[in-house]
Amino acid sequence: MRTTKNPFSSPNSNEPDRLGEIYRAAAEIICDKGYDATSMNDIAEAVGITKAGLYHHISGKRNLLFRIMNFGLDSLEEQVIVPAGAIADAEQRLRAIITNHVQLITSRSTPRGNNPITIVVDEVAGLAPAHRRKVDQRKRVYVNLIRDTLKELKAQGRLRDIDITAASFSLLGMILWLSRWYNPKGRLTPEQISKEVTSMALSGILRPRTRRARR
């Protein structure tokens, strides 16, 4: 029998649900107030524990920010990067990247209509330099996966006459902006959003297949 996981619990971790709650609460407050204006007291109150209890789990705000980012990037790796990397066909790989990333974002949207974990991953200015380098390196792996996939499509004559770097970051921007506007209470379901975004992205990047190629 399949059990339902806490959507904010890291799939690669045995950490308790309490830690997932801390990550979610902290990410939501950071989205609302900004990293600099967020205090450990704010987070402790949101989770319903004492400040001392919070420090039992987290050594400090900078460390918390880094762990939230890794938490989000762990999910990206498991649910998007690894499955896509196993797909040999470049077009199908690109489709999987878009679809899986959209589903990851919409599945974690809060009732208020945003995805705080995804948004907070951009708060790199609050990180210590060594942590920032690690986060940037993990992000670069994903960008390179997209760029290399587009290079394969270009070599196959399937890519429109577009710059690969511009296309890679434009595609990422289109997907990541979902975390700011998607509303789970709106008229569009996650499945519809995924279908729409994938269709728009692929039609803007790929050349239409010829009748002979379709056959």
Instruction: Work out the percent of the chain whose per-residue pLDDT is above 70.
Output: 87
* Mean pLDDT, the chain, whole residue set: 84
**pLDDT at residue 70 is higher than 60:** yes
Confidence of residue 211 (pLDDT cuts 50, 70, 90): low
- 149-177 residues labelled b (16+ CB within 10 A) or e (exposed): bbebbbeeebbeeeebeebbeebbeebbe
Identify which of 7-21, 69-83, 172-186 has the greatest average pLDDT: 69-83
Span of 15-19, 79-83, 133-137, 182-186 with lowest mean pLDDT: 15-19
Q: Which pLDDT tens digit goes with each residue over 41-62?
A: 999 999 888 888 888 888 888 8
Q: Which pLDDT tens digit goes with each residue over 106-130?
A: 876 565 545 777 778 778 888 889 9
The residue that leads in pLDDT, 164 or 14, is 164
User: Which 8-state DSSP code applies to residue 111?
Assistant: T
Please report the pLDDT score of residue 7 as a whole number: 37
Interatomic CA distance for residues 70 and 33, integer angstroms: 21
The residue that leads in pLDDT, 20 or 76, is 76
Confidence of residue 77 (pLDDT cuts 50, 70, 90): very high
Instruction: Work out the percent of the chain whose per-residue pLDDT is above 90.
Output: 47
C-beta neighbour count of 143 within 10 angstroms: 14
The residue that leads in pLDDT, 133 or 185, is 133
**pLDDT at residue 212 is higher than 80:** no
Interatomic CA distance for residues 17 and 119, integer angstroms: 21
Please report the pLDDT score of residue 210 as a whole number: 67
**Which domains can be identified in the chain, with CATH numbers?**
60-214 (1.10.357.10)
The residue that leads in pLDDT, 172 or 20, is 172
